[in-house]
Amino acid sequence: MFFKILGKIENIEVISKGRGIRDLRRIKKMDIKKIKFVVCINNEGYEASPELHKLYRVIPDKTVEEDGDIRIIDESGEDYIYPGYYFEKVTLKKDVKLLLKT
């Protein structure tokens, strides 16, 4: 892919990165029973993110899961793929899930 520079780039505003925005909308529409959470138990090689002992929302992704990985929404609000063994599934009560769904 080639680009031609036409002039100075000004007033840049990021409105979306990757699939994060689309997936976030999809999750907000999900049935509360289907929303899954995990806690980070290992972040070797990723010390900045995810944070140890922090709760993360899972984005279901069968292709990623087939490889033993997991897709989560991290501190930036974007979704990223990490090794599945970095996380442990947690079960939350429905009222807690409702609070965290937003």
Domains in the chain, start-ordered, CATH in brackets? 31-94 (2.30.30.40)
Helices H / strands E in the chain, number of each: 3, 5
Cα-flanking dihedrals φ and ψ of residue 71, to 5°? -105, 125
- The answer to whether the beta carbons of residues 71 and 61 sit under 8 Å apart is yes
What does the pLDDT average to over 46-56? 86
pLDDT digits (tens, 9 = 90+) for 58-83: 988 889 899 899 999 888 888 899 99
- The answer to whether the beta carbons of residues 100 and 50 sit under 8 Å apart is no
Q: In this structure, which amino acid lies at residue 57?
A: R
Q: Residue 82's pLDDT is what?
A: 92
Query: Whose CA is closest to 20, among 50, 62, 61, 67?
Result: 61
pLDDT digits (tens, 9 = 90+) for 26-44: 545 545 456 688 999 998 8
Residue with the two structure tokens 């925005």: 21
